[in-house]
């Protein structure tokens, strides 16, 4: 059995500790016999096993504006807003 086919809380933690995708806050879901990671923006990746651990294959893009709006609502330290309402 592949690790991505094991449905345990320990495997969920291992996946979330291993996989990071820039700009996305990920949650892990076990569905259809294997793990998926997804972001609140709707983007989703299938978790796949490799000889070096885990990797992902993106299956949906999600809403590209979601993170722009999130950045505007929750600016990070050092960000500032100018008159065009963009976070810099």
- Map 16-40 to HEC letters: HHHCCCCCCCEEEEEECCEEEEEEC
Gyration radius (Cα) of the chain, Å? 16
Count: domains in the chain: 1
Q: Is 70 helix (H, G, I), strand (E, B) or coil?
A: helix
Domain contains 81: no
Domain contains 80: no
- Sign of the Cα torsion 55, 44, 14, 67 reads positive
Per-residue pLDDT of the chain (88 residues; tens, 9 = 90+): 899 999 999 999 999 999 988 888 899 999 999 999 999 899 999 999 999 899 999 999 988 788 765 555 555 555 445 555 554 4
Domain contains 64: yes
Residues 6+ apart with CB under 8 A from 52: none
pTM value is 0.72
Domain contains 82: no
């Amino acid at each position: 059995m592949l690790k991505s086919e094991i449905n345990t809380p320990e495997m969920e933690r291992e996946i979330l500790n291993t996989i990071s995708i820039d700009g996305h806050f990920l949650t892990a879901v076990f569905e259809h016999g294997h793990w998926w990671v997804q972001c609140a923006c709707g983007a989703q990746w299938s978790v796949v096993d490799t000889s070096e651990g885990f990797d992902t294959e993106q299956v949906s893009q999600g809403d590209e504006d979601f993170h722009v709006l999130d950045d505007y609502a929750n600016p990070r330290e050092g960000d500032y807003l100018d008159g065009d309402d963009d976070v810099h």
